[in-house]
Chains A and B, each alone.
Chain A
């Protein structure tokens, strides 16, 4: 399978299905691992990096041969693809920005359904991540744990009885687990409660990040909740810490939506309809404005204020209108002004009200 075959697809986490998928976009779990007999990457030589990459590449091909991994699994040397493809993988959440921007030998293994990816030579030698659509942390854990077992059969990880899996940064030591849930919280943003929600989450040592953009300034009202602690609790306990709080957040968001519908129905309906109108008619539009408007439309759709569209279509538009995706879909490099025109055209084509089911192919 080729990297370009991913372009038109949309991957597991954008499927828009699974429990609570009106508010929960995706659940993901990543594990940080290091090979026992190499220094961590900050002290690794280029030869070490190449050797680590080779060991992992051999392990993956071995697992494919044994039919334990899909024969269509992609193995990509990130240093050997161009900048646009690297940004494409970042937008798709298959690699981190750090891996994209790093230098030296580094790779990513990608499941053809985009249910998991394995980053090699990021902050740690190995980072496995599993993505699930909707709120589904237990399935994500089952899968990432299995993947970890499979890979572990072929190599020896740095592990201490007392401290668990040893990682480059002491914030990940122990389980090496990061459990995250991505939520769409537009009503909490409109009613200006989001800051308060953050504060209470920080008190129970959970971290909140905006999906795109920096810090708590989230584009498109997407927020990622994740654990900060990785040591002294079991993986299941750490997952429960996140899993227990998500229904509370869903409930707050639903209450805020109910409140908006009840107290300012016309204002809300107007906001959603205008957003939809602009997205369907604009001739040039920035990425920020698109995210902002798509967020309103997505909420409007979930509240029944708009009907001739489907959630997976909207989810896909959030990602496909990002700069690298647009250029990959257009088939050539575009500067910012040209991207804004291309983005508007792409949105008009995909939000055409005359097609009630919403186009799902290009």
Chain B
């Protein structure tokens, strides 16, 4: 009978542990094996903490309740998401949020990625500057609103503006 290496009972569990990358065999009884294998408390956290949790964690440091409340009220002019809404759902509302909330997002990105600058693939066709992107999103929204309020004259003006921007884009790509 093989004895447990931590007490004198019969070893029923044979475990290969990895110590400094090298396998080491352990022979343990059921109780000692359970103690050995049950993860300690710090390890029971989720693999990836929820975004909201991460943000709350980050914001709790160095922010007063007032500052936090003011931050939560900030509203992106393009998609009209508030920072509070982002914190709650963990999803941003439009590409412009990365600009608009850049100061708030920076530490969060650092927390998640340990980096804040992209060095990977670049699309062959980049948008014509961030301004134009957000302008298109805003114009489309304004056009919808104009249609909803039956202001068709305004809607057609906006449609022309959108077409102008889009045709500029195409010309720029072709050249």
List residues of chain A with CB under 8 Å of any chain B CB. 34, 36-43, 45, 47-48, 123, 145, 148-149, 152-153, 156-166, 168-171, 173-175, 177, 191-193, 195-196, 199-200, 202, 205, 207-209, 215-216, 228-235, 238, 252, 255-256, 259, 263-264
| Contact yes or no, B118 A156, CB < 8 A | no
A-side contacts of B125, CB under 8 Å: 152-153, 156
A-side contacts of B118, CB under 8 Å: 160-165, 173-175, 231-232
| Contact yes or no, A168 B91, CB < 8 A | yes
Residue of A nearest to B90 (CB): A169
Best-buried of B78, B91, B120 by chain A (most CB within 10 Å): B120
B-side contacts of A170, CB under 8 Å: 51, 92, 105, 108-109, 112
29 A-B Cβ contacts within 8 A?
Answer: A36-B127, A37-B140, A38-B140, A39-B137, A40-B93, A42-B81, A123-B91, A156-B169, A159-B126, A164-B121, A165-B121, A170-B51, A171-B51, A174-B115, A191-B16, A193-B16, A196-B37, A200-B18, A228-B112, A229-B113, A229-B114, A231-B112, A231-B118, A232-B116, A233-B115, A235-B120, A235-B121, A259-B25, A263-B14
Pairs A-B, 7 closest by C-beta atoms? A232-B115, A164-B118, A43-B93, A37-B136, A158-B95, A231-B113, A39-B94
Asked if B117 is at the interface (CB within 8 A of a chain A CB), the reply is yes
Residue of A nearest to B124 (CB): A152
| Contact yes or no, B18 A173, CB < 8 A | no
List residues of chain B with CB under 8 Å of any chain A CB. 13-18, 23, 25, 33, 37, 39, 43, 46-48, 51, 78-81, 89-95, 98-99, 105, 108-109, 112-127, 130, 133, 136-137, 140, 144, 169
| Contact yes or no, B115 A42, CB < 8 A | no
Q: How far is the CA of A155 from the CA of B31 in the complex (A)?
A: 61
| Contact yes or no, B98 A160, CB < 8 A | yes
Residue of A nearest to B76 (CB): A43
> With contacts defined as CB atoms under 8 Å apart, how many contacts are there between chain A and chain B in the complex?
180
Q: How far is the CA of A175 from the CA of B115 in the complex (A)?
A: 12
| Contact yes or no, A42 B98, CB < 8 A | no
Best-buried of A166, A168, A215 by chain B (most CB within 10 Å): A166
| Contact yes or no, B119 A36, CB < 8 A | no
Q: How far is the CA of A34 from the CA of B15 in the complex (A)?
A: 47
B-side contacts of A156, CB under 8 Å: 123, 125-127, 169
With A42-B89, A169-B92, A256-B16 as contacts: A149 and B120 at CB distance below 8 Å = no
With A168-B91, A169-B90, A170-B112 as contacts: A159 and B39 at CB distance below 8 Å = no
Residue of B nearest to A41 (CB): B91
- Smallest CB–CB gap between B74 and chain A, Å? 15
Residue of A nearest to B136 (CB): A37
